[in-house]
Amino acid sequence: MTEATSEPGHRLRVECNLSLPSGPLTTALDDGTAPPAQLRATITNHGHSGFRCTGLTMTVPVGDSAEDLTAAPHNPVLTADAYGFSFTQQPAESHHAYQAAIAAEDAPVVGPGESLAFALTDVLPNSAPGTSSIATTVHGVADGQSVQLDDTHHVAANSPGAPTDFTANPISVKRGETVELSWTGPQTNPPTYILEDSSDNTSKTLTSRDGLVWKNNKWTLPKSLTKTTAFRLSAQAGGVPESAGIMVITVQEGDISAGDLTANGEVALLSTPYCFEYNDSSKVTERNNDFAKLTAWTDGYLVCGIHTADSATASLTVDITPKGSEAAFTAVTVTSSHSDGWENATVPVPKGARVTVRAGDNVRGNVSWFPLGQDTEKANEPLS
């Protein structure tokens, strides 16, 4: 999130979030073709006064290297969710800028809690897997003064067949229970999958003997856990392994090992987690009200996983008021622009802090509260 001063003593809190509504980027095939992708820049106003957006500039690196996004910079088209913007392109040797602009008197006003989105469509990634830095500059007017907000976003492009959407179900289990790891990848001629396991510090090439199966259009792998474990999944198809990400599974009453200290499951580090489902607009209001009463009786974590119920951007914000303070601060804002893609965040919450969750009517998903320690008096009282 970027903050800028619009008048003495006033802070303008505007965030520009870059998402991939078309799904993870895939590099070009050997014939040079690639599935067209979309980059969506969502400008959200988290302040208390209106922000008049007069333009957006999105600058992408151009070329054939792993740090470049595309070798076809004239193909993408920039559009906006609001009428009246004019669109231009500014080519350069190593970067290409896509600009949207509108006169200040005609510019749309993004009110408190509202969003405005711009989409760069028909992006053709180059053939080199890697991560590109995308720069966005938001132009606007607040309290009669011009404001410019600059951000840098990082977008990864995987080669065809690289694993994506690496997830686990559930994300927290009791000692000895099983989780199912899953990811998206080709069923025909799949790459070699490699799983690193922090529980025993191993790196293993996966086969059907390990329980790897194709199920529900995904690769799945069951894992029985006795302690909190991190997994890193990679895929290799003749080149350097490409990582699909890291997944951490918490194990309640699990084993621990810290220096000369070991525990075999008799020590409880996590209390019972509480999951609050956001299913429909009425449930959204109910859950927002639930969290308005939540005071953390111990240190813990909020784990958020949301997606949008429609084509509009869904936004969920977690505010924390520390113990002894009257002022809340925004710990995280999670936004989702497509119904099939989950966006996740984890928020540490200190003991005694008050938690407020603000979600729009089109938010779907859940927010889970994971209290640390074992407090039997509070075991059935998640809200206070």
Are both 222 and 89 inside the same structural domain? no
Whether residue 384 is contained in a domain is answered as no
Nearest to 164, CA basis, from 139, 137, 189, 193: 193
CATH number at residue 368: 2.60.120
Structural domains counted in the chain: 3
- Residue partners of 87: CB distance under 8 A and separation at least 6: 77, 78, 79, 98, 99, 100
Are both 142 and 88 inside the same structural domain? yes
Whether residue 220 is contained in a domain is answered as yes
Collapsing DSSP to helix, strand or coil, 286 comes out as helix
Q: In what order do the strands lie in the sheet with 115-123?
A: 2-7, 10-19, 37-45, 115-123, 77-80
| pLDDT value of residue 42 | 95
- Residue 59: is its pLDDT beyond 90? yes
- Residue partners of 231: CB distance under 8 A and separation at least 6: 168, 181, 195, 196, 197, 198, 223, 246, 247, 248, 249
The residue type of 70 is T
Are both 258 and 197 inside the same structural domain? yes
Residue 279 pLDDT class (50, 70, 90 cuts): confident
Which domain covers residue 107, as residue numbers? 2-158
Whether residue 383 is contained in a domain is answered as no
Parallel/antiparallel/unpaired status of strands 51-61 and 130-142: antiparallel
Whether residue 352 is contained in a domain is answered as yes
The string of pLDDT tens digits covering residues 186-243 is 666 677 888 888 888 888 888 888 888 888 777 888 888 888 888 888 877 655 556 6
The overall average pLDDT reported for the chain is 83
- Residue 267: is its pLDDT beyond 80? no
The two tokens of residue 126 are: 């180059």
* End residue of a domain, out of 229, 264, 299: 264
| pLDDT value of residue 130 | 80
* End residue of a domain, out of 219, 240, 264: 264
